[in-house]
């Protein structure tokens, strides 16, 4: 009888151990499944968050692109495309202004040159898209400009955009229009040889009071620009007429713009680059 009871106790103990082990294994299995499901759920959430983030980035990128496309609306198509491409690739464009002392504070009068105003406002408008450089040749006429190889100097800058005032104010009574156009062609040819993708823009010199000859010279330059399909910013339309006494409010005695003249010039250039 004792042996039977002892055997029963042993079997009961073994059964209890086996049952406990099975219960423990089942619990571990459940924990493992729950952990796996949690990991899968977390990964799914991460993927969803990443997908949402990428989607948001794409939307923001598209919005930036659309903004730039809107900003360049007033520009010639080729120039607008150049700005859009540079913006999309986060690349700065080199913007070179070339001209006489009229594009700087040549006489050190404490005047803010129109080129500085244009540089500041265009970078504000287009999102710091440009590096600006000013190449001023004072009172030099175009013949000396070519003789001294300054056209090669300007071309060596390899700018993306060139805004050129072709020294016609300095040429007055010294260099004829036909010769000046040859000099201008030499400059543009040199620029294009160094950087075929450079975008050229022409503009007149500052108006000079009572200088009717300058009107004729600039009319020829404007015709050349039209025939060569070069954009021409005619800022003269915003100045008083050359024979109007009001012009003296914008031009100093030395013939270059005063502070008011530089401001007027800047506003005219900016109105070409920006949609007002």
**29 vs 97, residue with greater confidence:** 97
Question: What is this structure's pTM?
Answer: 0.78
Let me know whether 54 and 101 are in one domain: no
Q: Pick the last residue of a domain from 36, 56, 71.
A: 71
pLDDT band at 8 (very low <50, low <70, confident <90, very high): very low
The number of distinct structural domains making up the chain is 2
* 65, pLDDT greater than 60: no
Question: What are the DSSP E strand ranges found in the chain?
Answer: 93-99, 130-136, 161-164, 199-202
> What is the domain range of residue 122?
75-273
Let me know whether 16 and 125 are in one domain: no
**pLDDT recorded at residue 67:** 87
Let me know whether 81 and 200 are in one domain: yes
* 4, pLDDT greater than 50: no
The number of C-alpha atoms within 13 Å of 89 and in the hemisphere containing its C-beta is 9
The predicted model gives 120-132 an average pLDDT of: 98
Let me know whether 196 and 268 are in one domain: yes
- 185 phi, psi to nearest 5 deg: -65, -40
Let me know whether 63 and 92 are in one domain: no
Query: What CATH number corresponds to the domain at position 236?
Result: 3.40.50.1110
**pLDDT recorded at residue 275:** 76
CB-based burial of residue 94 (10 Å sphere; 0-12 exposed, 13-18 middle, 19+ buried)?
middle
C-alpha of 84 from chain center: 8
């Amino acid at each position: 009888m004792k042996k039977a009871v002892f055997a029963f106790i042993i079997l009961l103990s073994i059964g209890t151990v086996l049952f406990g082990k099975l219960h423990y294994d089942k619990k571990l299995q459940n924990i493992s499944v729950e952990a796996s499901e949690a990991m899968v759920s977390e990964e799914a959430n991460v993927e969803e968050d990443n997908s949402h983030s990428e989607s948001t980035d794409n939307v923001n990128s598209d919005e930036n692109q659309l903004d730039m496309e809107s900003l360049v609306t007033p520009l010639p198509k080729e120039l607008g495309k150049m700005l859009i491409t540079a913006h999309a690739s986060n690349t700065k464009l080199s913007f070179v202004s070339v001209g006489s002392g009229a594009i700087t504070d040549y006489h050190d009068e404490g005047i803010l040159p129109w080129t500085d105003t244009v540089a500041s406002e265009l970078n504000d408008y287009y999102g710091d898209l440009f590096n600006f450089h000013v190449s001023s040749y004072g009172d030099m006429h175009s013949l000396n400009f070519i003789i001294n190889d300054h056209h090669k100097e300007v071309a060596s800058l390899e700018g993306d955009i060139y805004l050129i005032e072709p020294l016609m104010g300095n040429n007055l009574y010294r260099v004829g229009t036909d010769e000046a156009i040859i000099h201008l062609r030499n400059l543009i040819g040199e620029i294009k040889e160094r950087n075929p993708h450079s975008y050229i823009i022409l503009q007149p010199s500052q108006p000079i009071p009572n200088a009717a000859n300058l009107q004729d010279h600039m009319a020829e330059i404007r015709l050349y620009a039209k025939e060569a399909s070069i954009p021409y910013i005619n800022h003269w339309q915003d100045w008083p007429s050359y024979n109007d006494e009001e012009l003296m409010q914008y031009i100093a005695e030395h013939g270059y713009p005063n502070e008011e003249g530089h401001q007027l010039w800047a506003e005219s250039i900016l109105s070409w680059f920006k949609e007002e």
